Structure 1
Amino acid sequence: MPPKAAKGKEAKKEPPKLAMGPPPKPKKIPPPPACFSPEDLARFKEVFKAHDEDNIDKVKLPEIPIMLRKLGFNPKGSEIKLLYEKFLEDEFVDTVEYFEWLFMIEAKINMGDDFELAVTKAMATLGHDDEETGITDLELLKEELMSWGEPLLEIEFVDFIKVATKNKTFTPLDDQKTLAAMAMKKAQEEKEEEERKEAERLAKEEAKRQKLIQQGLILPD
């Protein structure tokens, strides 16, 4: 007959059994899509790190549409949902890793995008390209961009031209002449604005002085 356990003492707990076999292998991260150049990967990495607020090499799901737009895409809600279903492990995952981000970009590229078409149509409308030649008059385009909607500033238009005319119909010399003329015009406008403000200031001071003279507080010149 086995001895009885001593009263007031707890029975000894057995140590936990150790799991047999080797530890699980870490997840193997696939290489980036072969279609991306080193310059592409550097740009994608920069966008990813900018949204990795906790610096844990992961970004939150709501950031993905914003990040894609920063790369020039115009993702639809259905497309974002499809990307999540295709590249995330399950519906409970709330972050995206860098390699998943790269494959999402590749998939979005393969989906196509209507953003460029929309911009092309808008530019044709702004430039009154009724015959759809693909070419618009620069001065006419400038007038439209700076006169309706949210008007483009002169300095913004200069930056716009640097990009819009690169390797297009403008020659480098034409480009330089246009930018130089815009810069000179901008400088002249700023100078005139400063002169106007100075004239207003002097006029206010003179009006104040004349009022003090009338009140007998100061002597006239």
Structure 2
Amino acid sequence: MPPKGKKGKEAKAPPPVKGGAMGPPPKPKKIPPPPACFSPEDLAKFKELFKAHDEENIDKVPIEAIPLMLRKLGFNPKTAEIKQLYVQFLEDDLVDTVEYHEWLFMIEAKMGWGDDFELAVTKAFAALAHDDEEVGLADFELLRTELENWGEPLQEIEFVDWIRLAIKDKTFNVEDGTFNYVKFIENMNNKDHRYIKEPINFFKLDQKTLAEMAMKKAAEEKAEEERKEAEKKAREEARRQKMIADGLLPPD
């Protein structure tokens, strides 16, 4: 016969057995809502990219995919920024996957770190350097020619300083004349104080000016292409009308 419980007191429940054999299951993790700054269109784009890298279909992506995913959104994440995102949004340093809500908050954080300006400058340099594939390398003399004729023209003395800095931070290869403008922009954003007291401001070319300069150049080049295409169509039509007049083609 089992022993009676003490009067006036409820019998204590047995302690849960370790390992999950007994006791209530752990409460499911409450997923926070997406950042309010994102529109439905933004979320659809972010979700599509996330699913494309969720190869195992487990609603998680490998942690090593995050830098590539951010680049596909047009960002230029630095190694230190990637590490900060992991520290800020992942549970611990042993996690090797990223969940969708964590991915969204990483995007929001990266947007808040001002990458848009750096991206605009990088794309502007790509346009000015005729780097259509955006590999990040430019012919330095070609870039010099463009910068001497667009925006607020640079002077020769300013290029002397530019070359000195580019050689010092190993972004200008003197042997083949290539210039790693992506690395140069990153270095200048991070380490202006190492070289001169005041920010170099891209040698008269601040982010907005340089971006506007590239957009203006692209617009003018597009207008020129459209003009040439219109002239080509006009010539073809004139030729067709002449052939109709000569009886070589039936009239419309």
For this structure pair, what is the TM-score category when the shorter chain's length is used for normalisation? Answer: 0.5 to 0.7
1:51 aligns with 2:82: no
Contact 1:60 1:95 in 2 (8 A): yes
CA distance in 2, matches of 1:182, 1:62: 50
CA distance in 2, matches of 1:126, 1:37: 41
Higher relative contact order (CA 8 A, sep 6+): 2
1:74 aligns with 2:76: yes
Corresponding residue number in structure 2 for 1:128:
146
3-state secondary structure, aligned to 1:62: helix
Provide closer, same or farther for how the CA distance between residues 129 and 89 of structure 1 changes in structure 2, counting only shifts above 3 A.
same
Q: Shift of residue 39 of structure 1?
A: 1.1
CA distance in 1, matches of 2:123, 2:97: 32
Q: Shift of residue 171 of structure 1?
A: 11
Corresponding residue number in structure 2 for 1:19:
22
- Percent of aligned pairs with the same amino acid: 57
Q: Shift of residue 107 of structure 1?
A: 0.5
3-state secondary structure, aligned to 2:123: helix
Amino acid at match of 1:117: V
3-state secondary structure, aligned to 2:91: coil
CA distance in 2, matches of 1:131, 1:171: 15
| TM-score normalised by L of structure 1 | 0.52
Provide closer, same or farther for how the CA distance between residues 25 and 172 of structure 1 changes in structure 2, counting only shifts above 3 A.
same
Corresponding residue number in structure 1 for 2:99:
97
- Which of these two proteins has the greater Rg computed from alpha carbons? 1
Contact 1:165 1:175 in 2 (8 A): no
Contact 1:85 1:91 in 2 (8 A): yes
3-state secondary structure, aligned to 2:146: coil
Q: Shift of residue 111 of structure 1?
A: 1.1
Corresponding residue number in structure 2 for 1:33:
35
Amino acid at match of 1:128: E
CA distance in 2, matches of 1:36, 1:102: 9
Corresponding residue number in structure 1 for 2:192:
none
For 1:136-175, what aligned pairs fall within 5 Å after superposition? 169=219
Q: Shift of residue 174 of structure 1?
A: 6.3
CA distance in 2, matches of 1:115, 1:176: 28
Where does structure 2 lack aligned partners over 5 or more consecutive residues?
1-15, 129-142, 153-177, 179-213, 234-252
1:42 aligns with 2:44: yes
CA distance in 1, matches of 2:232, 2:88: 50
1:85 aligns with 2:103: no
Corresponding residue number in structure 1 for 2:121:
117
Corresponding residue number in structure 1 for 2:64:
62
Q: How many residues align?
A: 140
| TM-score normalised by L of structure 2 | 0.47
Amino acid at match of 1:83: L
